[in-house]
Structure 1
Amino acid sequence: MFFYQFTLNHSKPDLIWNHKTREELRESLEKEIAFLKNERELHSVQLLSWNFDEFEVHYVSLDEELKIGNYYLRLLLSQGSSTDIDNESLYIKSPIEFFNALYHRFLSNSNVHMKADCLQAMSIIYEKYDEEIGAFSDVNFLLNILNGCRNRTLRDRIVQFIGKIIKQQTNIRTLLRSDGLLILIDLATLSHLHVNRAVIPTQTNVIEASPEMARDSMEKEWHVSKDEAISFADLKDLWKDGKISAETKCWAQGYNSWRKISEIAQLKWTLMAEGLSIFQENNMTIYILDTLIRICERYPSRTVPDNAIIRPIPKVKQILSDESCLPHIVHLLLTFDPVIVERVATLIYLIIEDNPRISLLYLTGMFYFILMYTGSNILPISR
């Protein structure tokens, strides 16, 4: 059986075996045998013993493969993204050690792409081995990285990892204490910037405006000084010309005070960001909404089986029903994306169930926005 497997090619997270590696093993063994024969001829009288403890084979063909612990990262990411990770085909012998090795590499490496790959691998491992690994102790630290980073790839991988670690309730509590929900909701609002969404066809005889006319008609909602308001397009021009920086303070209606550009998600991820996104804006919003829904489902508003109303209401619903969060969630209805609208409706239903703050919902414009929606997925919304 061993010889049969030896002759086959293998490409697994913990094993790469092919024609090149077999040749490299053969060459190393032949070289070692030739050396021992030569030594035996030189010391024909003395008994010789092979130093097998220190015999190693250097597989040159694997030099380009990144290996963390006993696993090749490229193959792990490939297998984790193309197969169901609950399948036994992905088996990690020591998941805790490997997870810690990945996290150590994430912390010690300054390359953003390496950090993103480590986070992706950590997500794959944690989703399958969360019970063995237990609570992730650095949730707060990771949120600080997310809040301060400007790389889209790293941002998306952190969001993806957060969506996996909520399988452990301890991680959810840390997420709530560290204002993690506020950060996620701030990122969810980026779906308003998504420009590749399908346009709802409507009959009209209005002549389409030229790009110049459309630019002039943009709402002037941003202030970089107290003199006059400017449009978002004007703001981008100022950034491009170097007239404003990340430290420049801006204000728009809805903000309690002037804020730096680096502190405003819409401006930060359009003006300052670099790198390629893993998610499109609307897909990231869907992922974040799914994460919030799963957290809310972990903390129901009523007990089972006696159906008693829980008081005080779960902390996650206190946070999401606060005026700093609820309007942003409701305004996602204005994307008119059917998937997002359905997720928002589900999330709001979970938030306001037996919630004494339900009156705040009437101040968000939710019912007006829903009446504007022309999609066909009415049932989850009408719920």
Structure 2
Amino acid sequence: MTRELIHYPAVRAIEDVAFRIGWTPVRVFRLLLPVWQVEVSATITDGRPYELIDRFLELGIHKAGLGTVDELADFLCLDRSLVDRALRVLGAIGHLDEQNGRLVLTGIGLRSVREGTCYVLTREDRRRLYFDAFSSRPLTRAYYESRTVTMLTTAEWREHAATRWPYHVLDTDTGLDSGALAALAALPDRERFNLPERIDEPRQLGSSLKVRLPVYLVRAVDPDGAVRSVVYTQATDPARDGNDPELTELCEHTPEIAAALRAETVGPGLLQHVRDWLDKRGVGPLTVDDRGDGLIRATVRPSAFGEKGLGITTLGSYVPVRDGLLNVWCDDLPTRRRALLRRLDSIVQANTRFTRRGADETITRIAAQLALGPLDTDAARRLAAEAQMSALARRLDRLE
């Protein structure tokens, strides 16, 4: 059996492209994207309110250019011994340095004055950071959730590759950009990439390790006829988050990735393979339309859906078949309504926190997929009652 690394099936990614984005899916690729794993060490700063005199002393150094105990004491009209003790404390916490016999603010001292918070270096921090291997851009915080995201080492993916495994391994000779860590530290939204503001001066420990991130990449045709790529990962859920915008942009604009995908051509005999696939399920299609780009659409009779045929939930959806996609269709309106109710029933049963708003959004999406026109929760409840699906009708009626 093929081991899936992503916690949802590829069809959910395909349907998101088709029915949320509005493009025509033609193929889906399971890829292992190369990622640089970097271990870093940094200092952690904690902020605290300034002691009154300390803030004025540092402002005097920063704003007025005062650089000695006597200058600060005279300017602030304070006792010299008091100023001297306060400056020693500020030096001990790393806020002051001496240049040519005059006091100057250090980096953390300058930051403290500017932000009005007394920052203190408290301890060392060690953490792991991820950068995509093609452009050395950092991955977002979602990719550090080890319970859902799998970063495969070379030994791990090679072990799987020895078996029947559908993942295509991408690679690049490009090393990690030497300025990647500094560029990350300079980002205004760096916390989004797992480097909080209070972590200063990150330094790389040892060499970078190349690991692999499993993704679905859906190839689709947009309304202008252009071939596009949309990426989904373990860190995203198509129903909740849609696709990953950063990795989608990476895969759309990286020549190495585009060349690798172009090399993965649709093999000969896909149409016959689809016909055989349908025949094994006792389904004789009325028509089969082969677009030639990996997408085949089969229009079937209502009798095609049953225990020995196709599952009713495949109607209107996309089925990955070998290196292409099969879109199953039926012109019969009652059959498409039955497909809507079956899919809705499984969703409602699985989601105990389903709300009326969520039901309206789900019904609208599935109705569009099945060309049923505009429908809402009330309309679906009436259809369920007419179909004698009383349990579903009651669940929909109780939604708030």
| Structure with the bigger percentage of helix | 1
**Structure with larger Rg:** 2
| Structure with the bigger percentage of strand | 2
Which structure has more relative contact order (CA 8 Å, sep 6+)? It is 2
TM-score under structure 1 length normalisation: 0.25
TM-score under structure 2 length normalisation: 0.25
